[in-house]
């Protein structure tokens, strides 16, 4: 978790806390009232739109797991998007009940600034609120308000870096191999499956495939299948007719039709449930879709690029992912390496993000101190490039000198103790069983990029037991 080194919240800050647990609200209110001017609380996220319209908050602390949908965090993600739609400058910090890194990373992808896990350390929560308030004020001062990611059809992209493709930075052998495959496959109409942990750049690669293809002048339409509720799946993907269901005042094309003549990016396809998989397969096989409430199929001309961070071949072996769908989407497969395996790319990427955010926030930020570089290299980066990007952005904002120092860096997970792969590490000098267990859990999580299934396998635990330990040790 982040060290409590961030600035304290400004005394005049205003914070909104939304959580369905009254005890949580009381505890946070008691903590914050000594540090900030205003703390508003709400037990239901339904109050969010009104509160955000009436008040400008420096920070919104939003629970991910409201009781109705407690296991997936989807409801929290929907409210997060809703908050940004109402107040594009809102800086939202998610509260998650069980330290699910995947879910938290997903929230950050949807625009959350940070996350804290329950039970929280007070210093950590205060640091998160302080950093959020600084971020909001910096963004307001620079005119760069936070909002949904710009559409792919937005402003022109920067020039292609030498040897790279699209916006991808990195020259490691693994990334060069990725560029080569992208260049070869892009001009064909082959379906592409991109595999890799969260935040490794799968969507950037998908965009690069589109931009280097004959469809570049057509649309690039992205759909996060993990975030589409099953009840909305068909209408979202295939569209609906006017009056097909309550609220369908007009007919609407789905994502397949919207991508006609271009590329459809099916993100997180490994998270699609069995019914959704069957519907996708049918649409891909027939190359046609039927809008909800209609009976006549419509032909669609799309090139499909898919991505997932789940071990999809294992899912096929377990019977959880359809083999025929996998074969349909994986004509060409690309694997993106985790950041911790890309060697010097880490420095290239850190410099790239430093230049970007120094420019955006009007900071001098001439580079990193040696200590800061060493810490960047030592860390395991479970959230990969996205996490590095957020870490550098925060550091640019927090830095007081003209170089980013060690103390300006805040990490979401504790750095691995000792060498990543060996038997060493400070924790192993102790014979305290709890300490040893804590260290093992932490290392397994870092090694598997926060993937609970893999970490649990390696530790010889069930997922449930691993969750219990994550909670117990506050990881």
Which positions lie near ligand ATP, rule CB under 6 A?
105, 109, 167-170, 196, 198-204, 267, 307, 309, 349, 385-386, 389
Q: How far is the CB of 264 from ligand ATP (least distance, A)?
A: 15
The number of C-alpha atoms within 13 Å of 230 and in the hemisphere containing its C-beta is: 10
Please, what is the minimum distance in Å from the beta carbon of residue 281 to ligand ATP?
A: 22
Least distance from ligand ATP to the Cβ atom of residue 251, Å:
30
Structure tokens at 416: 């691995």
Measured from the CB of residue 244, what is the shortest distance to ligand ATP in angstroms?
30
Of 17 and 193, the one with the shorter C-beta distance to ligand ATP is 193
Nearer to ligand ATP, 202 or 215 (CB): 202
Q: Closest CB to ligand ATP among 204 and 253?
A: 204
C-alpha span between 438 and 441 (Å, rounded): 5
Kindly state the smallest distance separating residue 389's Cβ from ligand ATP, in Å.
5
Cβ distance to ligand ATP smaller for residue 9 or 199? 199
Strands 59-63 and 92-96: parallel
Q: Looking at beta carbons only, is 9 or 337 nearer to ligand ATP?
A: 337
Whole-angstrom CA distances from 46 to 26, 78, 246, 253, 352 are 19, 11, 20, 28, 39
The Cα–Cα gap between 469 and 59 comes to 29
Let me know: does 349 contact 337? Beta carbons within 8 Å: no
Residue of 334, 303, 335 whose CA lies nearest to 213: 303
Return the number of the residue (164 or 415) whose C-beta is nearest ligand ATP.
164
Q: Could you tell me which residues come within 8 angstroms of residue 463 by beta carbon, excluding any fewer than 6 positions away?
A: 452, 453, 456
Of 239 and 338, which CB lies nearer to ligand ATP in the complex structure? 338
Do 195 and 336 meet the contact criterion of CB atoms below 8 Å apart?
A: yes
Residue 199 vs 219, nearer CB to ligand ATP: 199
Least distance in Å: CB of 84 to ligand ATP? 16
Whether 6 contacts 131, CB under 8 Å:
yes
Please answer whether residues 283 and 237 qualify as being in contact, where contact means their C-beta atoms are separated by less than 8 angstroms. yes
Q: Residue count of the chain, please give it.
A: 475
Q: Select from 320, 341, 210 the least CA-distant residue to 269.
A: 320
Give me the least distance between CB of 339 and ligand ATP, in Å please: 8
Beta carbon of residue 193, minimum distance to ligand ATP (angstroms, whole number): 13
Residue closest to ligand ATP, measured at CB: 201
Q: Which two tokens stand for residue 440?
A: 């093992």
Residue closer to ligand ATP, measured from CB, 19 or 203: 203
To ligand ATP, the closest distance from the beta carbon of 203 in angstroms equals 3
Tell me the two tokens of residue 294. Answer: 């209609």
Q: Between residues 204 and 316, which has the closer beta carbon with respect to ligand ATP? A: 204
**DSSP secondary structure of 222-262:** EEEGGGS-GGGHHHHHHEE-TTSSTT--S-EE-HHHHTTTS
Task: Report the distance separating Cα 354 and Cα 403, nearest Å.
Answer: 10
Reading phi first (left if > 0) and then psi (alpha if -120 to 50, else beta), residue 463 is in: alpha
To ligand ATP, the closest distance from the beta carbon of 64 in angstroms equals 15
């Amino acid at each position: 978790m982040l060290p409590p080194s961030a600035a304290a919240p400004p005394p005049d800050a205003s914070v909104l806390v939304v959580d369905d647990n009254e005890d949580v609200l009381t505890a946070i209110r008691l903590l914050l009232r000594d540090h900030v001017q205003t703390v508003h609380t709400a037990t239901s996220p339904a109050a969010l739109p009104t509160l955000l319209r009436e008040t400008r908050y420096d920070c919104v602390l939003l629970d991910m797991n409201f009781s109705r949908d407690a296991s997936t965090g989807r409801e929290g993600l929907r409210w997060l998007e809703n908050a940004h739609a109402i107040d594009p400058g809102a800086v939202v910090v998610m509260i998650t009940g069980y330290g699910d890194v995947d879910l938290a990373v997903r929230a950050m992808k949807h625009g959350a600034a940070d996350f804290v896990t329950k039970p929280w350390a007070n210093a950590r929560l205060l640091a998160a609120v302080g950093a959020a308030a600084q971020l909001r004020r910096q963004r307001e001062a620079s005119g760069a308000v936070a909002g949904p990611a710009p559409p792919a059809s937005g402003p022109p992209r920067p020039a292609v870096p030498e040897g790279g493709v699209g916006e991808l930075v990195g020259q490691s052998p693994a990334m060069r191999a990725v560029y080569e495959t992208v260049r070869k496959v892009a001009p064909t109409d082959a379906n592409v499956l991109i595999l890799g942990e969260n935040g490794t750049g799968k969507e950037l690669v998908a965009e690069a495939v589109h931009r280097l293809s004959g469809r570049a002048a057509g649309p690039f339409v992205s759909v996060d299948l993990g975030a589409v509720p099953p009840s909305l799946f068909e209408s979202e993907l295939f569209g609906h007719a006017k009056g097909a269901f309550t609220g369908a005042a007009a007919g609407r094309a789905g994502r397949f039709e919207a991508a006609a003549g271009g590329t459809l990016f099916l993100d997180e396809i490994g998270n699609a449930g069995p019914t959704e998989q069957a519907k996708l397969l049918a649409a891909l096989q027939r190359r046609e879709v039927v809008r909800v409430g209609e009976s006549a199929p419509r032909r669609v001309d799309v090139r499909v690029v898919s991505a997932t961070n789940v071990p999809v071949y294992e899912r096929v072996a377990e019977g959880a992912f359809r083999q025929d769908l996998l074969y349909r989407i994986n004509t060409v497969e690309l694997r993106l390496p985790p950041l911790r395996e890309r060697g010097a790319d880490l420095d290239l990427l850190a410099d790239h993000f430093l230049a970007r955010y120094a420019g955006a926030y009007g900071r001098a930020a001439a580079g990193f101190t040696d200590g800061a570089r060493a810490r960047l290299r030592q860390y395991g980066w479970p959230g990969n490039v996205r996490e590095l990007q957020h870490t550098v952005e925060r550091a640019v904002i927090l830095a007081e000198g003209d170089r980013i120092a060690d103390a300006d860096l805040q990490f979401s997970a504790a750095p691995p103790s000792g060498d990543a792969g060996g038997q060493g590490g400070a924790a192993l000098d102790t014979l305290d069983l709890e300490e040893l267990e804590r260290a093992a859990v932490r290392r397994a999580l870092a090694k598997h990029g926060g993937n609970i299934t893999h970490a649990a396998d390696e530790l010889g635990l069930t997922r449930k037991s691993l969750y219990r330990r994550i909670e117990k040790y506050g990881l």
